[in-house]
A and B are shown apart, each in its own frame.
Chain A
Amino acid sequence: MAKLERKMQQYSLVLTSNRKKGWDLFWTRFKKNWQLHVMMILPVVWIIMFHYIPIYGIQIAFREYSNYYGMWGSEYVGFLKLAKFFGNYKWSSYVVNTLSISLYSLVAGFPTPIILALIIHVNDRKILKKITQNVSYIPHFISTVVMVGILIRIFDQYTGLLASFNRLLGITDRPNLMANVDAFRHIYVWSGIWQGMGWSTILYIASLSAVSEELHEAARIDGANRLKRVWHVDIPAILPVISIQLILRFGHIMSVGYEKVYLMQNSVNLPVSEIISTHVYKRGIQDGDLSYGAAVGLMNTFINTTLVVLVNWITTKLTDGEGGLF
């Protein structure tokens, strides 16, 4: 009888768990979900190990790293390492290069997939649309190393595609574009657009096809032609998606794809191609000044995060609290 009573009590505990408080409540709920918690163990351990512990390790930026004392035991030096960065007369060129490359990518690269998606959406030729879509995804799968390899091949001074065209047209001038201060940014940005344009349309095409047909119908009855409907129906409908993408892009404004920049660097274009992240890699890991690298990297992250928050605030203001991300 006592057993049954206990059982009853347990059930009523579950049923009335809403009224319970504190530890008891936690424990009842935990018993209900323990299998789900077990599932979370591996991912949580992983993210703490490979994300949060390194964040804790950022403090190396304020210490003089020594191999002997390790990460936590090295001497505290404050902002000395950051001061060293600003003491380098080249620091402004690193910042300028980073910003100009990424702003150029943003201005040229952000609208292109949206425009392409609109073109694909508006066009009526189904087969052509499908082929263009699928073909435009292909460059996305080319790796950074191979992409830079392709660029080097195509722009090769003597044997590249450009040289071939020049020969056909009878132009004897042979510029070496890969080792050219003026050409570096254009090559970097437009090859990036070539690679990513098609892939980025996926999201926009998906949101365009979700636009309600009734809106189009109503606009048509009001006498709007296709172009007007693009402007007054399609674009406003995908505006929230665009603003979220824009915020995310701003979050990466200081973190230019260093993998590609690093591979495209050579001694000639270095004045325009040395960016903060490649500088961090070279000084921090290649030359072994880990604290210096960490300090410069931290500054970079800090600017990044500030920008995201700022842009998010602005978008939220502009769209009356609808367009923001968080």
Chain B
Amino acid sequence: MAKKVKYKPKKIKLCASDLVLQIVTTILLFIVLLITLYPIIYIISCSFSDYIAINAGRVVFWPVGFTWSGYEYVFRFKDIWVGYRNTLIYTVVGTALNIFMSMLCAYPLSKRDFQGRRTYMNLFFISMFFGAGLIPHYLWNKTLGFINNPLVMIIPGAMGVYNMIILRTAFRSSIPGDLFEAAKIDGANEFRSLFQIAVPLAKPTISVLTLYYAVGHWNAYFSAMIYLRDKNLWPLQLFLRGILTTTEGFKPSDASNPTPNPSGGSSTQIADNTLGAKYALIVVSTVPVLILYAIVQKYFKKGVMVGAVKG
């Protein structure tokens, strides 16, 4: 082996109290890691386990009696597909609108010499501290004809004021003002400066906001529960609510009978079959969000810091 010489900066020897502190904090970090990861690992293990093993309480860490049947059961369930499709539509369209609106709003407000900036800003600021509450919103949306209308998942939440302010801060602090001046001299109008200068330069913040918005859309269930009655419009979370937050097993309500066990006659047996599927469903519905987080993760540090510190 070739000898490698590492040049390490000479470390200052820790004094006893600092050493103890290091040991204690390291132990605490491991404990935090364990507490966070253990429930997640348990759920994933259960989703791959045989329902008999789950029922007998034999799954504690690793999957027992490895099987894909939970996942098979989930994907044969028609409602899940409908929910997945709807959630995907709401998330993509809703997030795109969110980002567009936030850009439109954040850019003028980031201009220091924009006349009327104060007034606009107050309009948005006040809304963060004082809201009308559930019922007046419900009544107004009803008046607008949003009951049982998929637009209710997109339009009323077309922008998040807090996220917009983060973007405004990013526009203001990460882009030198001279750049806009130069663009103006070269004949760019404001729209062009926004989409060709400000937006590309604020990319880290915009990707983080995309994550925030998309996660919000993906996880929303309450407004769907209030406004949407037609099951074909339901997002995934609303179907999940019916399946996960009841103690009974989920039984196929639609025509295509997904029961993998044809000999199972009694209803308790069907419930047993669906036990692993519940865990599988938890995994299946959360993974897309985590994938998105993993993609955005590299922008994370830069993007979050800009808005967060100055908030």
Contacts and interface: CB of A to CB of B under 8 A. Distances in A.
Contact of A146 (B116, B222, B226, B286): B286
Size band of the A side of the interface? Answer: 35 or more
Contacts of A37: 108, 116
A55 interface: yes
Interface string A31-50: 01101110110111011001
A135 B286 CA distance: 15
Contacts of A92: none
Interface in A146-191: 146, 148-150, 152-154, 156, 158-159, 161, 163-165, 167-168
Nearest to B57: A164
Contacts of B133: 58, 280, 294, 297-298, 300-301
Nearest to A293: B135
B137 A54 contact: yes
Nearest to A149: B244
Size band of the B side of the interface? Answer: 35 or more
A119 B30 CA distance: 11
Nearest to A118: B25
A265 to B, nearest CB: 10
Contacts of A297: 133-136
Interface stretch (A8-16, A82-90, A121-129, A315-323): A121-129
Nearest to B222: A259
B22 A145 contact: no
Given A39-B190, A137-B293, A149-B245, A124 B108 contact: no
A55 B132 contact: yes
A113 B127 CA distance: 27
A18 B168 CA distance: 27
A285 interface: yes
Task: Output the residue of A42, A141, A167 with the most chain B CB within 10 A.
Answer: A141
Contact of A138 (B120, B189, B290): B290
A109 interface: no
Contact of A226 (B21, B30, B237): B21
Contacts of B139: 54, 57, 60, 65, 71, 290, 294
A30 B108 CA distance: 13
Task: Output the residue of B32, B115, B132, B241 with the most chain A CB within 10 A.
Answer: B132
A56 B299 CA distance: 41
A293 B29 contact: no
Interface stretch (A94-102, A199-207, A267-275): A199-207
Contacts of B93: none
B17 A225 contact: yes
Nearest to A161: B42
Interface in A259-306: 259, 262-263, 277, 280-281, 284-285, 290, 293-294, 297-298, 300-301, 305
A226 B33 CA distance: 23
B259 interface: no
Given A37-B116, A153-B279, A43 B134 contact: no
Interface in A240-264: 241, 244, 251, 259, 262-263
B244 A58 contact: no
B1 interface: no
A132 interface: yes
A281 B134 contact: yes
Nearest to A70: B143
A218 interface: no
Given A146-B286, A148-B245, A47 B123 contact: yes
A314 interface: no
A129 B194 CA distance: 38
A224 to B, nearest CB: 10
Interface of B: 15, 17-18, 21-22, 25-26, 28-30, 32-33, 35-37, 39-40, 42-43, 46, 54-55, 57-60, 101, 104-105, 107-108, 111, 114-116, 120, 123-124, 127, 129-140, 143, 155-156, 158-159, 161, 164, 189-191, 194, 215, 218-219, 221-222, 226, 237, 240-241, 243-245, 247, 275, 278-279, 281-282, 285-286, 289-290, 293, 297, 304-305, 308-309, 311
Interface of A: 26, 29-30, 32-33, 35-37, 39-40, 42-44, 46-47, 50-55, 57-58, 60-61, 65, 70-71, 116, 119-120, 122-125, 128-129, 131-132, 134-139, 141-146, 148-150, 152-154, 156, 158-159, 161, 163-165, 167-168, 194, 198, 202-203, 206-207, 210, 225-227, 241, 244, 251, 259, 262-263, 277, 280-281, 284-285, 290, 293-294, 297-298, 300-301, 305, 308
10 contacts: A33-B108, A33-B111, A47-B127, A135-B37, A143-B218, A153-B43, A153-B282, A281-B226, A294-B136, A297-B134
Nearest 3 CB-CB pairings of A with B: A149-B244, A143-B219, A297-B133
Given A57-B140, A263-B245, A277-B134, 16 more contacts: A33-B116, A39-B194, A52-B127, A57-B136, A141-B293, A143-B240, A145-B219, A146-B240, A156-B247, A159-B54, A159-B275, A164-B58, A194-B35, A225-B18, A290-B139, A300-B133
